[in-house]
Each structure stands twice: as C-alpha cells, then as structure tokens.
C-alpha cells in the first residue's frame, strides 16, 4: 500500500486533505510555493520558501523549483 505522498506545487494549506491521508496511515511531504494561509496543513514536512521562518533566500521560487530543490537535496543526502 501507499505510505507516503509527496506533493508538487500544492498542499501548504490543505488541512483536510492531509488529515485524511493521515487517517489512512499515509505521511505527506508538501513541496509548494503558494502563500501560507491562516492554517498550515499537518504534513510530515512542508517545503515552502514562503513558510514563516524559512531561511531560504529566494522566496519567489516557482513550485517546480521547490520540487527540484527538494529532489536535489534527496540526491545529496543519499
């Protein structure tokens, strides 16, 4: 079965969807670039340069760029 979902360009504020995934035993890693709303989704990790406190300097990075930087980090960590 599925145990992990990695989003691309969505999910920062998807509280209900991420909670539903969690209720099914699925972890969610969010990669996104959209403005942060009032509530953050309860994802395992949120990778978003616009998330408050994020030290990444390029706040205007598009969603594809966020996903690429995430994939690049995974390769370097392996």
pLDDT digits (tens, 9 = 90+) for 21-60: 999 999 999 999 999 999 999 999 999 999 999 999 999 9
* pLDDT at residue 15 greater than cutoff 90: yes
Pair 12, 41: CB distance under 8 Å: yes
Range of the domain at 41: 4-77
For 19-45, letters b (16+ CB in 10 Å) and e give eebeeeeeebebbbbeeeeeebbebbe
Per-residue pLDDT at 45: 97
How many domains does the chain divide into?
Answer: 1
Mean pLDDT throughout 62-73?
97
The structure's pTM equals 0.92
* pLDDT at residue 70 greater than cutoff 90: yes
Per-residue pLDDT at 78: 84
């Amino acid at each position: 079965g599925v145990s992990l979902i990695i989003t691309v360009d969505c999910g920062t504020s998807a509280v209900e969807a991420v909670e539903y995934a969690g209720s099914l035993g699925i972890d969610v890693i969010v990669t996104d670039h959209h403005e942060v709303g009032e509530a953050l989704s309860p994802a395992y990790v949120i990778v978003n340069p616009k998330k408050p406190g994020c030290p990444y300097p390029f706040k205007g990075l598009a969603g594809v760029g966020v996903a690429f930087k995430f994939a690049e980090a995974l390769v370097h960590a392996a």
